[in-house]
Amino acid sequence: METFDIAVIGAGPGGYPAAIRAAQLGAKVAIIEKEKLGGTCLNWGCIPTKALIAAAETFEKIKHAEKYGITVKDASVDYSVMIGNKDKAVGTLRSGINSLLTANGVKQFTGTASFVDRNTIEISGGASIPASRLVGSLAPPENGAHGVTRPTEHITAKKIIIATGSTSAMPGFLPKHERVVESRAFLDIKKLPASMIVLGGGFIGCELACMAAMLGVKVTIVELLEDILLLLDADVRREVRAHMEKNLDIRVLTGKALDKISADAKSVRGSFSDETLSADLLLCAVGRKPVTDGLKLENAGLKTTERGFIEADDYCRTKVANIFAIGDVTGKIQLAHYATAQGIAAAENAVQTKQHQHDTIVPNVIFTSPEVGTAGLSEDDAKKQNRAVKTGKFRFAGLGKGMATGENVGFVKWIADATTDQLLGAAAVGPHATELIAEAAAVIRSELTSRELGRTIHAHPTFSEIWMEAAHALHGECIHAPPKRK
């Protein structure tokens, strides 16, 4: 039985950075993956959706090119080419992870991991793959390693990091039919439907709804709660929803469940209130559930929470001393970059004696149209914590760059402590919001005050100037906005 210092279960955006960091620190590391390197993020999540959204946005721009004085005739979409490009990008990135793991001396195992005891893992249904046998862009073939299912293996490790991630939740009331899909299956359909119902107005549902709508699909979103994207402040939410409804023609129905869902060869149907909705496809995006099936956590003395998550503290430690947990399976914040931060902290805490917490300022980005980025405290959070804050807002329409490029929807907002002026949170909704939020995250983490940020010279003409303007707005000192009437 082979022995390791560290074994990582799951090679997603949490697991593979953990493995690499542990190897950098000199540990002998194993990583076990039952499907593909890169996990959900790379194969069926962040990356493929961004490839498709980029294509959709290009098409959207072409459709509206006339306002820039460019006439494009007969623009059309070949979805299969888009899918091909997406697969190519994903494949390239996946082989990149493989080379990184190999270069760092991390031993890869393919198969399903389960605990025998707190130090021993059984790996079944796969085998370790010598890096030399991996072909170019592709990780192991679908049917077991190289077509041959290897016998079950056992390894032991001093410390184990669980990074098994999450999977789409499919409620039991949904019919099992090819017209009813979740996000992973949706990304592999070869032809876009003419119409689509999106069940769930969270960020996954809204991103895919925007992408499909830009490519000409007639989209209806049904959300049980009172609004879509409820994690966002109301003003940010309103901006996104208004644009989705008015400019992308997406129908947004909220506050009630979609009942009596049925599917047949012709369509998928459901009733909302008194109305019957019908479409070619139903995309279910009601949330994600942790993956712990088959792990046999009980053999290691670990229990999941009522909702199935593995509890981990800010040092990524579980209740069992030698086992760490990171990423979606911990049920904290389900974001790839958060999993990565946790993974690096877990690896360092597993290898080194000095323990440290992972960071807590986590930028959140949503690739809807318009895009959204948030970091730190929201206005809603402040209200819940009963914390006195003030806000400074500035719209892209007031920005030279926004007007020049015609990208002028939306705004950014700073949330600052009312007494110390410390920048505690930020939200951006509008062009390049997902990129712009990076500055806000760095500023919040550095504990700058809005006065400091307001004095920081920002290049003109850029979209990033908007942070400076919004910081001025906090004190009613905007150069490019009329003074507020008293």
Partner 1 sequence: MATPIIMPKFGQMTEESAIVEWLKKEGDKVAKGDILFTVETDKSVMEVESFEAGTLLKIVVPPHVNVPVQSTVGFLGNPGETIPTATAPAPAAPKPATAAASVAAPAAPRAPIAAAVSAPIAAPVAAPIAPLPAPAAPSLFRISPRAAALAKHSVIDATRIKGTGPEGRVVEKDVRNYLQQHGYDKLRISPAAKELAAKEKLDVLAIQATNDSGRISVADVQRAVAEKPKPMSKMRQVIAQRLTQSFRDTPHFYVTISVDMTELIAYRNQLKAAGAPYTVTDFIAEAVVLTLQEFPDVNSSTDGKTTRWNSHVNLGIAVSIEQGLVVPVIRAAEQLPLLELCQRSKELATKARAGKATPDELSGGTFTISNMGMMDVESFGPIINPGESAILGVASTRPQPVVRDGKIVVRQMMKLTLSCDHRIVDGALGAKFTNAIKQKLEDIELWKRLTA
Measured from the CB atom, is 182 or 421 closer to partner 1? 421
Segment interacting with partner 1, rule: CB under 8 A, options 68-76, 260-268, 372-380, 418-426: 418-426
- Alpha-carbon distance of 72 to 394, in angstroms, equals 34
For residues 441-460, which are near partner 1 according to CB under 8 A? Answer: 446-449, 451-452
**Is residue 153 a contact point for partner 1 (CB under 8 A)?**
no
Measured from the CB atom, is 58 or 456 closer to partner 1? 456
**Is residue 417 a contact point for partner 1 (CB under 8 A)?**
yes
Cis peptide before 171 (omega within 30 of 0): no
- Alpha-carbon distance of 30 to 109, in angstroms, equals 7
* Site residue total, partner 1 (CB under 8 A): 13
Catalytic residue among 337, 358, 460, 480: 460
Let me know: does 180 contact 264? Beta carbons within 8 Å: no
Segment interacting with partner 1, rule: CB under 8 A, options 216-224, 270-278, 360-368, 421-429: 421-429
Measured from the CB atom, is 80 or 420 closer to partner 1? 420
Segment interacting with partner 1, rule: CB under 8 A, options 171-179, 281-289, 315-323, 414-422: 414-422
409: Cβ contacts below 8 Å, ≥ 6 apart: 239, 243, 370, 396, 397, 430, 431
For residues 298-357, which are near partner 1 according to CB under 8 A? Answer: 356
Measured from the CB atom, is 376 or 431 closer to partner 1? 376
460 assigned to active site: yes
In whole angstroms, the minimum distance from the beta carbon of 231 to partner 1 comes to: 25
**Is residue 245 a contact point for partner 1 (CB under 8 A)?**
no
In whole angstroms, the minimum distance from the beta carbon of 366 to partner 1 comes to: 27
Segment interacting with partner 1, rule: CB under 8 A, options 152-160, 191-199, 398-406, 419-427: 419-427
Cα-based distances in Å from 322 to 30, 158, 347, 434? 15, 7, 12, 37
In whole angstroms, the minimum distance from the beta carbon of 236 to partner 1 comes to: 24
Our CA angle for 482, 434, 401, nearest 5°, is 40
**Is residue 360 a contact point for partner 1 (CB under 8 A)?**
no
Torsion angle of C-alpha atoms 136, 140, 142, 145, degrees rounded to 10: 140
Amino acid at site 22: A
Measured from the CB atom, is 183 or 450 closer to partner 1? 450
Choice from 92, 99, 278, 420 touching partner 1 (CB under 8 A): 420
Residue of 406, 404, 405, 424 lying closest to 414 (CA atoms) = 424
Choice from 219, 423, 429, 433 touching partner 1 (CB under 8 A): 423
Let me know: does 37 contact 101? Beta carbons within 8 Å: yes
**Is residue 419 a contact point for partner 1 (CB under 8 A)?**
yes
Choice from 348, 421, 465, 469 touching partner 1 (CB under 8 A): 421
β partners of residue 160? 7, 323
**Is residue 377 a contact point for partner 1 (CB under 8 A)?**
no
Measured from the CB atom, is 154 or 356 closer to partner 1? 356
Residue of 273, 269, 240, 243 lying closest to 255 (CA atoms) = 273
Measured from the CB atom, is 9 or 444 closer to partner 1? 444
Let me know: does 145 contact 125? Beta carbons within 8 Å: no
User: Which parts of 215-257 fold into alpha helices (H)?
Assistant: 234-246
453: Cβ contacts below 8 Å, ≥ 6 apart: 414, 423, 443, 467, 468, 471
- Alpha-carbon distance of 33 to 16, in angstroms, equals 10
**Site residues for partner 1 per CB under 8 A:** 356, 417, 419-423, 446-449, 451-452
Residues designated as active site: 460
